[in-house]
């Protein structure tokens, strides 16, 4: 029992990332009908927003500290971040410590801007083109974005630590009445899961309970009729693209402390997220979220020691295997709508 | 000739001549000159030109004719490579059995994958092939089957290479410390002849010519497929599969045949890669490698005969040449400018060369998709049409003016 709970918990954080990226992919697909291969790159750019903010905050200048001396007896030179000068030393230190959560506020405008530019500058021209062309042009864009990030930030992963308050783990098993030290779960992963759940909830609430969301849903169901009613649906869909980019970016920002951001993390997640979208059912938002968590948890179950001893290497192929089986037995995915991408 | 019409024969002969004289054509700059680094006439690169040409020609038979976009073809290339290396470990270092077995094994695997994947079309087909390829990559990378049966099948992370201790049952035992070299009835793949003409130096490599011969055979076969009733059938799948169904035809056998043929082409390319460089690792099966063949085909022109060959040549040339241009080369190029200006230009161009050559290919690929979806071939046609159109209106104007005078 405790082993099962542990695996479910382990699957949740990866599942959250899959679900968030898949949610954005499905939003773009459902509204604009575009298959966006550059979505993984948006996730990666989000993660690098956190890296950038951290770099900006730690920009520092050299001051001479008269109270300390180095080994030659001269006054020691120390690096003082500008943030210390502005907010004072203790507040400045905690701002730097909290740079990852703060990056959320930095990433939202950046990602929405990138989403707008992408949609207006490139993807707009591809609505009437075949899906193969959309896949190819966004694939090319993903390569370019990835390599530009690699050029500026280097090929090595850049550690972005979580705030000190969330470092370490807590004994989840003891809270539920199991033996202590059986289910240990890092705080930040729990934060990530809650954050993901919050965003997913917010997106669904936005679509469900606002007039704007209602119009977008109507547009997803029948774009032409909404247009005939005199609503500028293209403009709203562009906003949805920006929103989807922001969702992917936020997923990336908060993922930094779990896995240090590197330039190819987007491509790594992209393939799996596509599998998630297809398993969930192309065009179905709940399907994408459910499949994201499901596959994340499945992957973590497959990497249990007992399972690997039974079938070695299964943890690496399980997602693809499940995707192939689902696509062949339930061609529309778990919750796919009829008539989406069927020609 | 060879059952081809005049135009196709000319095309085949042009390609054959280009392949035959590639060591000259690709080495236009004299040895030791500043431009010598843009020479592409060294054996390793020429071999890759033709081998990836084969890969792209095969991919084009599937994507160009039927429109099915596979994102997993590198897996078949990898499977072919592994099959070839096992032949070299177990049977003989002669490349013929290795290449034959690589084609057969790749054909079998692609039959299996195609049979399942072709039940769906569009984006689902792309994702299915991608999933299969990533699965095969992971299996090769972790050597799952080797672990299951307590042996080695793919060698995992380190890959495979022929060793002196391998039981090559057809070959005489090698001396201790000798390296097993791939050969064709005694002619080693690495054997080259150097010819010096003035300041120029040309290299003729045995392996390159064998690969080029295979490429020509593959190219000839693809022309025949393009012009056959079978090729017509594949085109009809691309233009309207529903209508094909209504006429009572089942397109599945045709698309499956195209899938298997392109898989066998990939296997041949994989076998040749091993023949030229006797080692194999799982990274050549990664999905970005599949993406690369897609880029090659589109860059040259999907659905055209010569397009994939051009595309693979261009991509491999850019990969090798652009990655060689580093900052010091750029500094020497822009040294004639004033300091500030040259720094600016170096900073801009540096983004596109050296280690960042992927950016250039990505940008070019995007430009091609956006503006000339038909690739280089369409670009050539458009430029040609522009020139001939400019002439034609002049002629008609002239004749129109002449008429009233009569």
Q: Kindly determine whether residue A139 and residue B130, on different chains, have CB atoms separated by under 8 Å.
A: no
Q: What percent of chain B has pLDDT over 90?
A: 25
| DSSP secondary structure, A154-199, as one string | -SS----PPPGGG-SEEEHHHHHTS-TTSSEEEHHHHHHHHHHHHH
Residue A85 counted as domain residue: no
In a domain, A338, yes or no: no
Lowest mean pLDDT among A43-47, A329-333, B240-244: A329-333
Residue at A256 is within a domain = yes
> At A214, which CATH number?
1.10.3470
Name which of A140-144, A215-219, B195-199, B221-225 the model is least confident about.
Answer: B195-199
Predicted confidence at residue B398, as pLDDT, reads 41
At A267, the pLDDT band (50, 70, 90 cuts) reads confident
Q: Is residue A109 part of a domain?
A: yes
Say how far apart CA B231 and CA B225 lie, in whole Å: 5
* Average pLDDT, integer, range A75-89: 77
Whether residue A9 is predicted with pLDDT greater than 90 in this model: the reply is: no
Task: Give yes or no for residue A119 having a pLDDT over 80.
Answer: yes
CB neighbours of A322 closer than 8 A, spacing ≥ 6? A279, A295, A298
Domains in chain A: how many in total? Answer: 1
Q: What is the mean pLDDT of residues A3-32?
A: 86
Q: Report how far residue B368's alpha carbon sits from residue B351's, in angstroms, rounded to the nearest whole number.
A: 20
How confident is the model over A111-117, as a mean pLDDT? 93
Residues spanned by the domain of A34: 2-56+98-329
Closest CB from B127, B242, B298 relative to A278: B127
Q: Judge whether A241 lies within some domain.
A: yes
What's residue B396's pLDDT? Answer: 45
B66-98 b/e with 16+ CB inside 10 Å = b? Answer: bbbbbbbbbbbbbbbbbbbbbbbbebbbbbebb
pLDDT the model gives residue B391: 57
Work out the number of other CB atoms within 10 angstroms of the CB of residue A78.
11
pLDDT band at A47 (very low <50, low <70, confident <90, very high): very high
pLDDT digits (tens, 9 = 90+) for B386-398: 888 665 555 444 4
Using a pLDDT cut of 90, give the percent of chain A over it.
Answer: 21
Give me the pLDDT at residue B286, please. 87
Output A76 or B309, whichever has higher pLDDT: B309
A15 vs A275: CA distance, rounded Å = 13
Question: Is the predicted pLDDT of residue A245 greater than 90, yes or no?
Answer: yes
Residue A247 lies in a domain: yes
Query: For each successive 10 residues of chain B (406 residues), what is the average pLDDT?
Result: 81 88 80 73 85 94 91 93 90 88 95 90 85 88 77 80 79 72 78 77 84 93 92 89 87 93 95 88 87 90 89 88 77 75 77 80 89 88 83 47 40
Residue A202 pLDDT > 90: yes
Confidence band (pLDDT; 50, 70, 90) for A75? confident
Q: Contacts of residue B131 in chain A, CB cutoff 8 Å?
A: 275, 320, 323-324
User: Is residue A218 in some structural domain?
Assistant: yes
- The yes or no reply on domain B6-310 and CATH 3.40.980 is no
Read off the pLDDT band of A87 (50, 70, 90).
confident
Q: What's the confidence (pLDDT) of residue A43?
A: 93
Chain A contact for B144 (CB, 8 A cutoff): yes
What is the nearest CA distance from B44 to chain A, expressed in angstroms?
26
Picking from A133, A313, A331, A343 by the largest number of B CB atoms within 10 A of its own CB, the best residue to mutate is: A313
A14 within a domain of the structure (yes/no): yes
Residues 161-220 of B with CB under 8 A from A: none
What pLDDT is stored for residue A231 in this prediction?
Answer: 87
Q: Do A132 and B69 touch (CB under 8 A)?
A: yes
């Amino acid at each position: 029992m405790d082993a099962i709970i542990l695996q479910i918990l382990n699957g949740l954080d990866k599942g959250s990332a899959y679900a968030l990226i898949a949610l954005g992919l499905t939003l773009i697909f459902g509204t604009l009908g575009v298959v966006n291969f550059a979505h993984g790159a948006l996730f990666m750019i989000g993660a690098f927003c956190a890296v950038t903010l951290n770099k900006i905050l730690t920009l520092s200048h050299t001051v001479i500290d008269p109270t300390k001396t180095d080994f030659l007896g001269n006054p020691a030179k120390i690096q003082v971040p500008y943030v210390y000068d502005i907010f004072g030393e203790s507040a400045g230190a905690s701002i730097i410590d909290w740079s990852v959560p703060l990056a959320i506020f930095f990433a939202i405008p950046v990602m929405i801007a990138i989403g707008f530019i992408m949609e207006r500058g490139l993807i707009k021209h591809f609505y009437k083109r075949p899906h193969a062309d959309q896949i190819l042009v966004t694939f090319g864009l993903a390569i370019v974005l990835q390599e530009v990030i690699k050029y500026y930030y280097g090929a090595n992963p850049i550690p972005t630590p979580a705030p000190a308050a969330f470092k370490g783990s807590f004994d989840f098993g003891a809270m539920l009445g199991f033996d202590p030290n059986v289910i240990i779960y890092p705080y930040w992963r729990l934060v990530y899961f809650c954050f993901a759940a919050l965003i997913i909830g917010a997106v669904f609430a936005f679509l469900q309970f606002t007039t704007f969301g209602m119009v977008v849903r109507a547009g997803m169901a029948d774009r032409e009729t909404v247009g005939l009613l005199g609503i500028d649906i293209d403009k709203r869909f562009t906003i949805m693209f920006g929103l989807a980019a922001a969702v992917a970016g936020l997923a990336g920002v908060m993922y930094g402390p779990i896995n240090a951001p590197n330039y190819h993390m987007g491509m790594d997640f992209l393939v799996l997220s596509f599998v998630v979208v297809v398993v969930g059912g192309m065009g179905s938002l709940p399907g994408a979220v459910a499949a994201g968590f499901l596959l994340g948890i499945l992957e973590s179950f497959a990497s249990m020691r007992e399972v690997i001893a039974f079938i070695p290497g299964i943890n690496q192929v399980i997602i693809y295997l499940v995707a192939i089986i689902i696509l062949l037995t339930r061609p529309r995915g778990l919750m796919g709508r009829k008539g989406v991408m069927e020609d | 000739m060879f059952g081809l019409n005049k135009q196709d024969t000319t095309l085949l002969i042009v390609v054959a001549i280009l392949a035959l004289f590639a060591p000259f054509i690709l080495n236009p700059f004299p040895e030791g000159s500043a431009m010598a680094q843009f020479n592409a006439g060294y054996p390793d690169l020429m071999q890759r030109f033709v081998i990836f040409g084969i890969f792209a020609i095969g991919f084009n038979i599937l994507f160009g004719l039927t429109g099915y976009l596979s994102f997993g073809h590198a897996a078949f290339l990898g499977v072919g490579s592994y099959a070839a290396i096992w032949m070299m470990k177990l049977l003989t270092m002669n490349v013929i059995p290795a290449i034959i077995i690589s084609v057969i094994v790749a054909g079998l695997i692609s039959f299996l994958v195609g049979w399942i994947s072709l039940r769906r079309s569009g984006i689902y087909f792309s994702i299915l092939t991608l999933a299969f390829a990533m699965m095969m990559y992971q299996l090769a990378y972790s050597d799952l089957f080797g672990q299951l049966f307590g042996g080695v099948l793919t060698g995992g992370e380190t890959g495979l290479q022929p060793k002196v201790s391998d039981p090559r049952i057809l070959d005489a035992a090698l001396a201790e410390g000798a390296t097993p070299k791939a050969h064709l009835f005694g002619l080693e793949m690495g054997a080259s002849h150097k010819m010096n003409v003035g300041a120029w130096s040309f290299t003729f490599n045995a392996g390159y010519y064998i690969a080029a011969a295979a490429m020509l055979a593959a190219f000839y076969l693809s022309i025949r497929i393009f012009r056959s009733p079978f090729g017509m059938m594949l085109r009809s799948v691309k233009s309207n599969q529903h209508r094909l169904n209504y006429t009572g035809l089942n397109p599945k056998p045709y698309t499956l045949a195209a899938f298997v043929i392109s898989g066998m082409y990939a296997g041949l390319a994989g076998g040749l890669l091993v023949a030229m460089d006797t080692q194999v690792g799982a990274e050549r099966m990664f999905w970005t490698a599949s993406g690369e063949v897609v880029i090659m085909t589109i860059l040259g022109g999907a659905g055209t005969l010569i397009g994939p060959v051009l595309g693979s040549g261009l991509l491999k040339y850019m990969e090798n040449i652009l990655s060689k241009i580093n900052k010091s080369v750029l500094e020497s190029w822009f040294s004639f400018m004033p300091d500030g200006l040259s720094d600016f230009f170096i900073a801009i161009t540096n983004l596109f060369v050296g280690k960042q050559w992927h950016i250039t290919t990505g940008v070019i690929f995007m430009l091609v998709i956006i503006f000339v979806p038909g690739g280089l071939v369409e670009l050539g046609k458009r430029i040609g049409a522009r020139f001939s159109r400019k002439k034609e209106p002049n002629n008609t104007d002239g004749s129109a003016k002449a008429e009233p005078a009569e």
